[in-house]
Amino acid sequence: MVNENQHGRAGAVDVIGVTQAFRNHGKPLPVLDEVDLSVKPGTFVSLIGPSGCGKSTLLRLIAGLDMPVDGKVYVDGRIVTGPDPRRGLVFQDPTLLPWLDVEHNVGLGPTVQGHRDDDESIRRIDEMIDMVGLDNFRHALPSELSGGMAQRASLARALVTRPEILLLDEPLGKLDALTRSTLQGELERLWRTQGFTGIMVTHDVDEALLLSDRVVVFSPRPAHIVADFPVALDRPRTQDDPQFRELRHKILGLLF
């Protein structure tokens, strides 16, 4: 059944019977095999699975960047036919424009939409720069930022237009362990305060368990869902909690 947003809250995702295939050296390459995935508005779900199984492919379909060979993707009951500013995207590489400072990179969405200089946009850009702790770097260029700071700017940029859904493809994958752990806390705080639906691809089982209401595990390519674990632990979570350890053990058992 498709989530039709009965509760007045936007950001429901329904992936129904989605199959995707590419061609590789002329031969068909099946990538997703009838994937069904429904995500309730305002929840945070992590997707985990072997490298090359099709996780980024699925995220791109939810983003509307590609169309599936078969099946449908719905957002709030409507079929996704292309990208939409209500779905924000954050990738592993920050993808900031190198010639724009932090303030203008964060303001890219409002600039493209033609209201960068409205009072409300200026307030929102300031608010997001503050929220990610870059207030002292608003005039810095991307080349002057650390990897963690660049990823904070990417998060602020994705959230500045108040998207209902944030799609994250290994957003912290290239950061060192310490920065990564700090940004996990910041991402959780952004999710709590901004109220978006989060769908995050990660290779890190602990990261998935720290942040998510559900962890969905995929098979090797062509990907189908092999398990879907609700994570009913209080937040903020600790990795040495016995229930956390038990879930980690179960998920790792499916991956290796």
Ligand X SMILES: Nc1ncnc2c1ncn2[C@@H]1O[C@H](COP(=O)(O)OP(=O)(O)OP(=O)(O)O)[C@@H](O)[C@H]1O
The smaller minimum CB distance to Mg ion, of residues 56 and 179, is found at 56
Both structure tokens of 249: 């053990």
* Cα-Cα-Cα-Cα dihedral sign, residues 215, 221, 62, 105: positive
Q: Which of 52, 83, 185, 253 binds ligand X (CB under 6 A)?
A: 52
CA distance 226 to 151: 31
* Nearest CB to ligand X, comparing residues 54 and 107: 54
x-or-dash pattern for ligand X, window 57-76, by CB under 6 A? x-------------------
Kind plus residue range of the DSSP H or E element containing 117: none
Helix (H) or strand (E) holding 243: helix 242-255
With CA atoms as reference, report the closest residue to 151 among 120, 122, 172: 172
Interacting residue with ligand X among 39, 53, 159, 160 (CB under 6 A): 53
Q: State the minimum distance, in angstroms, from the CB of residue 33 to ligand X.
A: 12
Contacts with Mg ion, 42-61, as mask; x by CB under 5 A: --------------x-----
C-beta of 5 vs 56, nearer to Mg ion: 56
Q: Residue 153 binds which entry of Mg ion, ligand X, none, with Cβ cut-offs from 5 to 8 Å by kind?
A: none
In whole angstroms, the minimum distance from the beta carbon of 171 to Mg ion comes to: 12
**Of how many residues is the chain composed?**
256
Tell me if 61 sits within 8 A of 68, measured CB to CB. yes
Subset of 128-157 contacting Mg ion (CB under 5 A):
none
- Answer whether 38's CB lies under 8 Å from 148's CB: no
Cis status, amide bond into 236, omega within 30 of 0: yes
State yes or no: residue 92 binds Mg ion (CB under 5 A): no
Which residues sit at the interface with ligand X, rule CB under 6 A? 22, 29, 31, 51-57, 221
